Structure 1
Amino acid sequence: MQSDAKRQLGSQGEDIVKRWLLGQGYSILPASLIQTGGAPMLLERSYKAILPDNLTWKDRHQRWIEVKTKSNPTTHESWPNRKEHGLPLRHWAAYEFVQQQTQTPVTLAILELSSGTLLTATLDELKATARIYPMKGEYHIFLARDAFQEHPLEKMTLPEQIPPRAARTIEQQQQQRPRLIREVNRE
């Protein structure tokens, strides 16, 4: 269950990305605003999938865009030089299912608050960088930050960051390393 602050941050991020998309000439059907008592779904007889946040059109081309608002990229101890962003694997699978069933590409748009940058890439572009890892009782998929296109958002006011619950952000790891080195030296 999302906290109210996290839900509000996500909504603010979605609004910023919608303004950016409109500024880029896209038309938008915001699926995230459909009032169904929960997340909008693509329903089939034996499966239901969460819809991406927005269905967009530009130059007669249609695209789903899923918005995630992230404070910072993360790293993993096995790949300390790889910055990445993650999401639950079940969400990724739902977006892939929607892409397959609708024959409409899905773009993942990450609003990265620490850099003031919008990162975008299609699911197909991101597959090659995917790393699956168990976390918080379920599997997550982590995607290399450098696989995304960067769009600076200098003229937009970004929401305040919420400290992440996972102790994996780059900033946190840099703060923790000296402490770990001191602990090893004591032994």
Structure 2
Amino acid sequence: MTVNKPDEWSEFRLWLDVQLEWLHSVEPQTDFRLVEQARGLFPTIYEPGAPARAVTELERLAKSAWSAEGTALLRHYLGYALAVRSMEVRGLIGDSGVVIVERLADRILALETCDPELDEFAEELLGRREEPKARNTHRAVIAFTALLLVFGVAPVVTGGLMGSPTLMGSGALLAAVLVAAFAWQYRAMTLRTPVGRTGR
């Protein structure tokens, strides 16, 4: 399912209905009661606060399952509840919820449901969240280039034309300092890890 579209909420509901219909058609051989409890959470999943409550309950149910089949089904339901929660967060607080949505997407992928559509949904959420980082990096490159031209290249060229070794040396030194500073800043930007993130 494609995210970040004007009518994505309506499309998301249609997509989720199809996924749940398929999941409901799978009759578990074990952990019947747990799976039935999980299914019972979804008729009201779009009510305010329901996704977060469903996530909490499904995490508990998944830990209670004793069979591999039951665990797999419950992890699927948990993944869909996390997907609904991500859409709820985006609808309520928009881009301000970037960290929460990113965390929810990570949690969906960590479930390893082997559901390509669910994984694709999570990956698209993460891909969308890379856009601000890419823009910031692009701006940093532009700013660095401008500084390098003004304080590094220009003095070297001017010093060469004027026959001034001092000016050329100063320009070369400033250029080296700017390159080192940019390299450090770029590394810090790419390695920065968000902290204090929560998915609920």
Q: State the TM-score, normalizing by the size of structure 1.
A: 0.34
Of Structure 1 and Structure 2, the greater helix share is in 2
Q: State the TM-score, normalizing by the size of structure 2.
A: 0.32
Larger of the two Rg values belongs to structure? 2
